[in-house]
Amino acid sequence: FIVTNYHVIQNASDIEVVLWDGTSYSAELVGSDVLTDLAIVKIGAVDLPTIEFGNSQRLRPGDWVFTIGNALALKGGPSVTLGIVSGLGRTIKTERGDLYDMIQTDAAINKGNSGGPLVNLAGDVVGINTAVYSGAQGVGFAVSSVIAEPIIQSLIKKGKVVRPLIGLSGIDVTPSIASRYNLGVEEGVLVGHISKNGPADESGLQVMDVITSLDGEKTSDMAQFLTKLWSYDVGDKVNVDYISDQ
């Protein structure tokens, strides 16, 4: 089983995996997840070397990390780049939707790095390289291992990811948004849409409410909100703390 990005195999009719020694395998898609831009493919190889996942929650801005990937498909094998963790918990917009809880790094990430590992100095995978902002210098992003690991396991076991939904969409509360709408708080999740007859609708949540915690755990932004929400099973009951002017 091999981890890659969804956008790497998106709309592919055939998938081929080439190993470091030049051996080539035809691969089958096991499953993919658009919300985290992750996918699993499978090849008919045995006893391949693997690398362990580390805990991305232990990362701090300034920590050294390096990336491994087939950058620009240059002859001579994979490329390795070194940098630091520039930021944590980033939300970025892509053509496939928003990606949450991303690790920002200044280690060079180029076309061909997608799906490769972001590795700490202990040699553990702390992220899956995903995106780079065109026009920006030293700004790359990786899906954190704490988000990626359960997705990867679910794709391997079930071929899909089953998530609980609460029936709303929201945006991060920032100081500017808080000031514009006189929210009274400077962090949280501002509800922008409520799905009709969904759990949020039936519980009385409304557009412009600000969700501050789930079961007492602070949700300062959408990344924290979704990480907590997706830790539940379908059918679980959740206590939602929110601020409302309704």
Instruction: Choose, from 32, 33, 37, 209, the residue flagged as catalytic.
Output: 37
Instruction: Choose, from 114, 144, 145, 154, the residue flagged as catalytic.
Output: 114
The Cα-based distances of 87 to 56, 62, 152, 173 in angstroms read: 12, 8, 24, 18
Residue 114 annotated in active site: yes
User: CB-based contacts of 181: which residues, under 8 Å, 6+ apart?
Assistant: 190, 208
Residue 169 annotated in active site: no
d(CA 125, CA 144) in angstroms, rounded, equals 9
User: CB-based contacts of 42: which residues, under 8 Å, 6+ apart?
Assistant: 1, 2, 27, 28, 30
d(CA 7, CA 245) in angstroms, rounded, equals 41
SS3 assignment, position 202: helix
Residue 7 annotated in active site: yes
Tokens of 223: 């990344």
Instruction: Choose, from 7, 86, 101, 172, the residue flagged as catalytic.
Output: 7
- CA 64 vs. chain centroid, Å, equals 20
Instruction: List, by residue number, the catalytic residues.
Output: 7, 37, 114
